[in-house]
Amino acid sequence: MTSRPIALALDCVDVDRCAAFWTAALGTSVERRWDDAHGVGYVEIGTGGGPVLLLQPVPDPKRVKNRMHLDLAPVDGTQEQEVQRLVGLGATRVDDAPGQRWVVLADPEGNEFCVLPPRRAGEG
């Protein structure tokens, strides 16, 4: 018996604000909204294949660095063009240390993610 990932959960104080950012960033849409047994509302965002991004509401704002994060690569255009597009959507630039292949951004609630250079077909 094995398991497979079905969702990457992201804690959010304002799931609607995060849903607006992440659907625009990923060029996808909200796939489903649902409430748990306590009436807490969750939002699932499509990722264009693979696990969904599950936005789960929490009462407290983010305080420390994420232990897990998304790595994004532009489908078309350059890495810097994608960084600028995401900043225009509400992300903030956190780190772009010289010599690194990635630029660290944060979503509107401070959750870090990386933007890497475009990938060629067959590149991991």
pLDDT tens for 68-100 read: 899 999 999 999 999 999 999 999 999 877 888
* Dihedral Cα 85, 112, 90, 119, nearest 10 deg: 10
Distance CA 34, CA 27 (A): 21
Q: Token pair for residue 70?
A: 């998304």
Phi, psi of 10 (to 5 degrees): -125, 120
- The pLDDT, as a whole number, for residue 66 is 82
Distance CA 124, CA 112 (A): 21
Range of the domain at 3: 1-59
20 and 37 fall within a common domain? yes
* Average pLDDT score over the chain: 91
Report whether 90 contacts 83 (CB < 8 A).
no
How many domains does the chain fold into? Answer: 2
The pLDDT of 107-122, averaged and rounded, is 88
- The pLDDT, as a whole number, for residue 79 is 95
The pLDDT of 3-32, averaged and rounded, is 94
- At residue 121 the predicted structure's pLDDT band, cuts being 50, 70 and 90, is low
- The pLDDT, as a whole number, for residue 106 is 96
85 and 55 fall within a common domain? no
25 and 73 fall within a common domain? no
- The pLDDT, as a whole number, for residue 48 is 79
- At residue 122 the predicted structure's pLDDT band, cuts being 50, 70 and 90, is low
DSSP state of 49: S
- The pLDDT, as a whole number, for residue 69 is 92
Last residue of a domain, one of 59, 79, 104: 59
Distance CA 61, CA 11 (A): 9
Q: What residues does 41 pair with on adjacent strands? A: 35
